[in-house]
Amino acid sequence: MKINEFINKANHNDEIVVNRCDSLIRVYDNENDLLFRIPLDATNFLGIDWFTSANDFISKETSKYLSELIEEFLKTPIEDRAIEKKYRLVAKRKIDQMPKYVKKIITGFDEFIIDFTNLKSEAIQYNDSDLKVLVEREPLLAPAIDAMKKPMEDE
């Protein structure tokens, strides 16, 4: 099971909130209390960081559902969990020392706006699925997006 698939399936349950932060999947109850963290490279239940007994905060049905999801996730080889790469879109200029970073992209019925910034810290971070959605919406931009995308780990 892929990381995003695990998070999406878990978030279909109303009793918990699941998100990814760095190299961890975090599971919270409805009161925003952290129940446990799953390292992305965990291979068994012993690798999970437990903060409290989840059974005290969620129903037995949710606990069973979550246990089955976790078990399926842990059985998936780490390399198959598909940790998505992150990208920034960078427009090269004639002067290489002054790149322009994409700060925002607005698409509408009859408009398409790209807002640039000189500051890397203000640039939007995209993953492959984000860029796929953008290309599906604006297919003529595919070559430009491919030319502009710069992996975050290159920096």
Residue range 124-152, pLDDT digits in tens = 888 887 888 888 888 888 999 999 999 88
The yes-or-no verdict on residue 121 having pLDDT over 70 is yes
Distance CA 62, CA 41 (A): 24
Highest mean pLDDT among 23-37, 64-78, 100-114: 64-78
Distance CA 137, CA 63 (A): 39
Give the global pTM. Answer: 0.55
What are 9-13's contacts with CB under 8 Å, separation 24+?
9/69, 10/66, 10/69, 13/62, 13/65, 13/66
Would you place residue 43 in the very low, low, confident or very high pLDDT band (cuts 50, 70, 90)?
A: very high
Would you place residue 154 in the very low, low, confident or very high pLDDT band (cuts 50, 70, 90)?
A: low
- Integer angstrom CA distances of residue 17 from 23, 37, 137: 17, 12, 29
Distance CA 72, CA 15 (A): 20
Give the N- to C-terminal CA distance of the chain in Å, as an integer. Answer: 29
Residue 82 falls in which region: left (phi positive, over 0), alpha (psi -120 to 50) or beta = left
Distance CA 56, CA 49 (A): 16
Q: Which residues pair with 18 in a beta bridge?
A: 27
* Mean pLDDT to the nearest integer, 56-62: 85
- Run of H or E including 16: strand 16-21
Encode 128-151: b = buried (16+ Cβ within 10 Å), e = exposed.
eeebeebbeeeeebeeebeebbbe
The yes-or-no verdict on residue 14 having pLDDT over 60 is yes
